[in-house]
Structure 1
Amino acid sequence: MVAFGKKLKERQIQEWQGYYINYKLMKKKVKQYSQQMQVGAQDRRHVLKEFSRMLDTQIEKIVLFLLEQQGLLASRLAKLGEQRTALLEQPDISQISDLRESYRAVGQDLLKLLFFVEMNAIGIRKILKKFDKRFGYRFTDYYVTTRANHPYSQLQQVFKHVGLGAVVGAISRNLADLQDRQGSYLSIYDQPTLTVQDPVIDSIKAAVDRLTHSTNFLHFLGQHALIMQEELPTPIEEQIDDQRYNFMSLILNLANTFLYMVNTYIIVPTADNYSLSLGAAATVCGVVIGSMAVAQVFSSVYFSAWSNKSYFRPLVFSSIVLLVGNTLYALAYDFNSLAVLLIGRLFCGLGSARAVNRRYISDCVPVKIRMQASAGFVSASALGMACGPALAGLLQTRFKIYKITFNEDTLPGWVMALAWLFYLLWLWISFKEPSHESHENNVAQQVSTEAVESKLENGLTKPLLLSSEEKERDEDDDQEVDGSEEAPEESHRPATSIASAYHLLTPSVKVQLLIYFMLKYAMEILLSESSVITTYYFGWTTSSVAIFLACLGLTVLPVNIVVGSYISNMFEDRQILLASEVMVCIGILLSFHIISPYSVPQYVFSALVTFVAAEVLEGVNLSLLSRVMSSRLARGTYNGGLLSTEAGTLARVVADGTITLAGYLGESKLLNVTLLPSLFICICSIIATCFTYNSLF
């Protein structure tokens, strides 16, 4: 793979080369500072100030050039405005057409300028990350705090491109007005939905959104999937994706996601009753529900590795294992065996193919529709989460066929077994296995570079000797082997083990994973113990619990519409992140049973606050996680999606185990005992967020 330094050089607009961030120089300076500090020739304070001044100079160069180009574009637009005024007095169709093309030409030049800003913004982020990794302290925190929040911030000029909005508005308005509207006097300000869908405007809008991280519902929802993309995907990569993509295969992956989430939550309203019918305590429902997550911790890894070679075979295996698991779950009642029940749920966890579903979207869906597919993945999960308990509420019947019992406890297993059987047949008939040539090339490339990677890792203790020819080539490609962690990162090789993936985690990423663990833990405590708690305090029936859980699940999409379309465009992600954590904490505090009697309004309101805040938190958390996580974790078996899945699954395992252990103290103490760990983890995550707040940009 091509290093970032070389990629930056190749993508530069030739006539503007002198105005880009000098990434190569900055990288060399970081190396020099490291060597000087090792021999005691420099102290950290001096390095911090000198590197800050150097970065200030680079950013000032970028900003001044940006302002100059904005002025040139504004001047051209002013002249075109004069021509447009003259045409209004004496309309000429041919001249209107020429004028429209002139506006499009300005739009194309604006696109070049936006691309220039985007490349520099990426370069600044990467050099800040490199400095932090090399010196082991938060330079980014210091730099962003002192520069980004200053009233004369030049850093904000790069990341927020102040002033370009007026240019974008002028081009958009005039192109829209020059369209033939057959006598209409409507403008883009009167009815925004009537704006002309000119390809230039669409491209400009996409470029602006990337720079400001502004978002819409679809984009915000898609971020929940944490399907990471390369910073600058090439047309060649997109062409490969088109060759591997099959619409029906994508639908089958989304159907697998939906059915698995239904399978996960369909037993929640009845797990406590099922445990009681088998002679166990009601709180054993925590183990019954959590056993699926225990198996998923392991299945996520082998399914992620399997998807390097095939998508069809792991999906077939998943369907068969889930068919067997649900059948065992249903038969446990007639066998009167808690062991069979748990084995059935373990089999269901071993069939979790979410890693395959995510990898298919990441590797095989074209870039232009990948965000829609990611949103579909999250929507399927949310819909399954709501449908699972709702379906359980409908299965309130009891009958026998021969010696097999069908009741509210066993029917969820039988229904899901039948659903997986139909899915398996559909999969066998309709799925099209994509080509894995690109994956084989990646594997071969990894094998050929194992020796180099080993030397890079050993470079921390001894220098890597290069021949003069290799040194020259290394200089040209801007791939200095300096023993830093950035060298393997910039090569974009995927992590080859959990250990190597862990080494790529910066403090910011670790905090984001802690937040993800916290929100999943809080949600699992809320959902898994809901049946026991509501039965003990309020005497709710299975149908009442099912309706309550289904209503919670149905809030996912509306909440994401509000956050994705409005709130995320009004506030920074890190502001929403911290506010959401505080709201989760408030929801947990409101849930405690302190004042007697414990009322339904208190429980429902606190549960709603906790669940909705956790949903908002999940979206912004994964959005920030994809931004601060190393690009090496964008692909391969041990990718960012797998790490987040493992963190969330581990949280569910711990939460369900907590419910069962707390059950030994009695159902009267269950609520408060299980909420205490949630509160503690939530407070820890808030404190950790405050410490890394300024590095989340």
Structure 2
Amino acid sequence: MVAFGKKIKERQIQEWQGYYINYKLMKKKVKQYAHQIEVGALERRHVLKDFSRMLDNQIEKIVLFMLEQQGLLASRIAKLGKKQNSLQDEPELSKIIELREAYRVVGQDLLKLLLFVEVNAIGLRKILKKFDKRFGYRFTNYYVKTRANHPYSQLQQVFKHVGLGAVVGAISRNLADLQDRQGSYLSIYDQPVLTLQDPVVDALRAAADRLTYSTNFLNFLAQHALIIQDDLPTAAEEHVDDQQYHFVSLLLNLANTFLYMVNTYIIVPTADDYSMSLGAAATVCGIVIGAMAVAQVFSSVYFSAWSNKSYFRPLVFSSVVLFLGNAMYALAYDCNSIAVLLIGRLLCGFGSARAVNRRYISDCVPLKIRMQASAGFVSASALGMACGPALAGLLQINFKLYKITLNQDTLPGWIMAVAWLFYLVWLWISFKEPSRQTEVNRTPQESNGGSVQSDVLEKGLAQPLLLNAEENEKDEDGEDASEEAPEEARGPANSIGSAYRLLTPSVKVQLLIYFMLKYVMEILLSESSVITTYYFGWSTTGVAIFLACLGLTVLPVNVVVGNYISNMFEDRLAAAAVYLLKDSLSLWQVALERRSRQILLASEFMVCLGILLSFHIVIPYSVPQYVCSGLILFVFAEVLEGVNLSLLSRVMSSRLSRGTYNGGLLSTEAGTIARVIADATITLAGYLGESRLLNVTLLPSLAICISSIIATCWTYNSLF
């Protein structure tokens, strides 16, 4: 990844260089503070005072220049307005065209000013984060709180940018009036959603939207996919994205995600019956279900590597393997072979192309809709998870077609085999392989990490005030202390080991939380058919309805949690400060992250409560107890997953980006390994008898959950 200092230089407008935030100078100043504190030449209060004054001077410089430029733009628009008024009585086509071109020129200059504000906003965000990381002062909280609400706040002048919005509106309105529909009484205010034909207006709107971007539900949901765009994308990348984007190809990737999740969960209600029909114990369903996850541990790596070269070929391979795997799963009944059944499920796991789906969104979807595409990835997964068991509940058929048996055990395999065959045909006809030429020249950037973060270990509040000498050599932007870091020091991780070394303590804790929630959810889902049959005598349809209802809670839960987090602190202070945080800065964001951590910890306690309520102790086990405990466990595990991945996306190292061993792969592997271990636990516990299965499988769940709570408390102050 290009170091931020270098990237900010690339995006600066040359003639305005003297008016940008002096990021390099301030970074050096932070180093000087560190040295002076270390030798005892400076106290904390002097550091805060001096750095505050320095920031105030930088912001004042930005504000005064921005106001000057706004005034010049407003003056030019006023002069053009007079010319436009003179054309009302005697409109001349040549003068109208000339006037429209003049407005476009003003629009292009306004775009430069919007970019100027955006670069400065990100630069300020970075230097504040750097200061907090280096000293652990929580300076950002203090600085924004004292500046945002002051009556003479220059911070508001920069980041609320009401004046800029007014200039955008003036250009948009006048260009609209000069279009061919001059006879209409409607304006942009009557039809604000009307698509204006002028590209300058579209560019202005996109720039303004990017500048005012703040955390919302869609962003919260998108972060589940761990596909996060960089703070300051290069202009080249924006153009490349537009050239590579193909809507049908994106749709095919989302369809692949949906079908794979259906494929994963469609067998859960019937896996125990299928195992018994082949002469195995009911608890072998754990191995049957988990075989897919075992193979996925390996397939995630080679699919991630394969997507470096192609997207089409791995998707074709995935479809073929999944077709064969499901056909073998279905044929195992007539072959009377548990081995064929397991090989079929292993093949299904080897066809997991989720790494390709995620990578395609990261690499080939334009920045302006990447968040929506990421949210679509998560929604497709959630919908597939709900549809799988529901579909299994409908397949209550039993007949033979020639020598092939079609019943509730085999139909999930045949249905999915046909679905993958149709998908393969659609893929072959419609998928468009994006050009790799432009992608080779792209600067790798974050797709699975959040904002550019420190590559050194976080120390937390309990650690020494300053980082040690070796850690001081590089800052969180991946930059060398004296100059830009060498390319290999900023490139993606090239092995699992190097990727693991980039994980900070807080990231490791969040991966542990992710492991825990996937483990307990897999225990709940995979053993549901055995438990409900043993204790309550439920049919396949009953189990399918229960699992489908659990799956349907995923999106509503995320809507509630996402909107709750998004709508927090909507007071005057937050409204002012939100403009400071293009994507996670200011007091508003500090408060949001603090609340996210509170939700994270509270959800862990609720998952623990759900596990405790699930135990069968003395009193007869009842349906209300099982359903209520399962609902508590599943719902709060979903809440936990959403908040955990949202936080994780912000703290992962920038080097865990587009390479094979990226942050998304690591989190996928953590979840997949959790599922494998959970399914193995169910099978091993089955040897103790079905009467002990529930309690035996819940004990490790409880132990892992308690461990994650302790780890969360230990690193609580660094989970941001």
TM-score, normalised to structure 2, is 0.76
Match of 1:329 in 2: 329
Shift of 1:606: 3.3
Match of 1:616 in 2: 639
Bigger CA drift: 392-401 or 514-523? 514-523
The percent identity for this pair of structures is 63
Taking structure 1 as reference, are residues 44 and 281 closer, same or farther at Cα in structure 2, changes over 3 Å only? farther
Aligned partner letter, 1:601: P
What does the per-residue CA deviation read over 1:333-360, in whole Å, with 9 as the maximum and x for residues that have no partner? Answer: 2333323222221111111111111111
Match of 1:647 in 2: 670
What does the per-residue CA deviation read over 1:368-402, in whole Å, with 9 as the maximum and x for residues that have no partner? Answer: 33223222222221221111111111111112234
Q: Partners of 2:203 and 2:439 in 1: how far apart?
A: 34
SS of the residue corresponding to residue 656 of structure 2 reads: helix
Map residues 338-377 of structure 1 onto 2, 5 A cutoff: 338-377=338-377
Match of 1:557 in 2: 555
Map residues 506-525 of structure 1 onto 2, 5 A cutoff: 506-525=504-523
Q: 1:503 aligns with which of 501, 505, 508?
A: 501
Shift of 1:595: 7.6
Match of 2:160 in 1: 164
Shift of 1:618: 2.7
Bigger CA drift: 547-556 or 399-408? 399-408
Q: Partners of 1:414 and 1:433 in 2: how far apart?
A: 29
Question: Aligned residues, how many?
Answer: 650
8 Å Cα contact 1:3/1:491 also seen in 2: no
Match of 2:55 in 1: 59
Taking structure 1 as reference, are residues 333 and 315 closer, same or farther at Cα in structure 2, changes over 3 Å only? same
Q: Partners of 2:717 and 2:65 in 1: how far apart?
A: 30
Q: Partners of 1:407 and 1:168 in 2: how far apart?
A: 65
RMSD (CA atoms):
4.7
Shift of 1:277: 2.2
Taking structure 1 as reference, are residues 175 and 29 closer, same or farther at Cα in structure 2, changes over 3 Å only? closer
SS of the residue corresponding to residue 400 of structure 1 reads: strand
Q: Is 1:575 equivalent to 2:595 in the alignment?
A: yes
Q: 1:42 aligns with which of 26, 38, 42?
A: 38
Taking structure 1 as reference, are residues 654 and 153 closer, same or farther at Cα in structure 2, changes over 3 Å only? farther
Q: Partners of 1:316 and 1:643 in 2: how far apart?
A: 24
Match of 1:468 in 2: none
8 Å Cα contact 1:225/1:377 also seen in 2: yes
Taking structure 1 as reference, are residues 376 and 479 closer, same or farther at Cα in structure 2, changes over 3 Å only? closer
Shift of 1:195: 12
SS of the residue corresponding to residue 405 of structure 2 reads: strand
- Point out the structure with the larger helix share: 1
Taking structure 1 as reference, are residues 286 and 483 closer, same or farther at Cα in structure 2, changes over 3 Å only? farther
Q: Partners of 2:196 and 2:622 in 1: how far apart?
A: 54
Taking structure 1 as reference, are residues 634 and 621 closer, same or farther at Cα in structure 2, changes over 3 Å only? same
Map residues 367-516 of structure 1 onto 2, 5 A cutoff: 367-438=367-438, 440=440, 481=480, 487=485, 492-516=490-514
Taking structure 1 as reference, are residues 612 and 104 closer, same or farther at Cα in structure 2, changes over 3 Å only? farther
Match of 1:592 in 2: 614
Map residues 119-268 of structure 1 onto 2, 5 A cutoff: 119-124=122-127, 127-128=130-131, 139-140=135-136, 142-144=137-139, 147=142, 164=160, 199=202, 202-203=205-206, 206-210=209-213, 213-217=214-218, 219-268=219-268
What does the per-residue CA deviation read over 1:621-656, in whole Å, with 9 as the maximum and x for residues that have no partner? Answer: 333322222222221111121112112112212222
Taking structure 1 as reference, are residues 11 and 235 closer, same or farther at Cα in structure 2, changes over 3 Å only? closer
SS of the residue corresponding to residue 400 of structure 2 reads: strand
Taking structure 1 as reference, are residues 143 and 327 closer, same or farther at Cα in structure 2, changes over 3 Å only? same
Q: Partners of 1:364 and 1:419 in 2: how far apart?
A: 26
8 Å Cα contact 1:382/1:556 also seen in 2: yes
Q: 1:667 aligns with which of 690, 697, 702?
A: 690
Shift of 1:527: 1.6
Q: Partners of 1:330 and 1:169 in 2: how far apart?
A: 61
Q: Partners of 2:16 and 2:632 in 1: how far apart?
A: 51
Taking structure 1 as reference, are residues 204 and 525 closer, same or farther at Cα in structure 2, changes over 3 Å only? same
8 Å Cα contact 2:392/2:408 also seen in 1: yes
Q: 1:543 aligns with which of 532, 538, 541?
A: 541
Q: Partners of 1:516 and 1:310 in 2: how far apart?
A: 29
Shift of 1:291: 1.6
Map residues 102-117 of structure 1 onto 2, 5 A cutoff: 111-112=114-115, 114-117=117-120
**Structure 2: gaps spanning 5 or more residues:** 80-87, 92-98, 178-182, 445-468, 570-591
Taking structure 1 as reference, are residues 664 and 30 closer, same or farther at Cα in structure 2, changes over 3 Å only? farther
Shift of 1:295: 1.1
Match of 1:448 in 2: none
Q: Partners of 2:481 and 2:168 in 1: how far apart?
A: 47
Q: Partners of 2:74 and 2:427 in 1: how far apart?
A: 59
Aligned partner letter, 1:143: R
Q: Partners of 2:666 and 2:154 in 1: how far apart?
A: 31
Shift of 1:583: 3.0
Q: Partners of 2:437 and 2:188 in 1: how far apart?
A: 52
8 Å Cα contact 2:270/2:529 also seen in 1: yes
Shift of 1:270: 0.8
Taking structure 1 as reference, are residues 685 and 72 closer, same or farther at Cα in structure 2, changes over 3 Å only? farther
Shift of 1:580: 4.5
Q: Partners of 2:470 and 2:557 in 1: how far apart?
A: 51
Shift of 1:432: 2.7
Shift of 1:146: 6.6
Aligned partner letter, 1:413: G
8 Å Cα contact 1:255/1:380 also seen in 2: yes
What does the per-residue CA deviation read over 1:435-476, in whole Å, with 9 as the maximum and x for residues that have no partner? Answer: 2224555799xxxxxxxxxxxxxxx99999xxxxxxxxxxxx
Aligned partner letter, 2:494: T
Shift of 1:293: 0.8
TM-score, normalised to structure 1, is 0.78
Shift of 1:174: 8.3
8 Å Cα contact 1:578/1:689 also seen in 2: no
SS of the residue corresponding to residue 680 of structure 2 reads: helix
8 Å Cα contact 1:326/1:414 also seen in 2: yes
SS of the residue corresponding to residue 405 of structure 1 reads: strand
**Structure 1: gaps spanning 5 or more residues:** 84-91, 133-138, 445-459, 465-477
SS of the residue corresponding to residue 309 of structure 1 reads: coil
What does the per-residue CA deviation read over 1:272-296, in whole Å, with 9 as the maximum and x for residues that have no partner? Answer: 2222223333222222211211111
Shift of 1:532: 2.0
Q: Partners of 2:155 and 2:623 in 1: how far apart?
A: 47
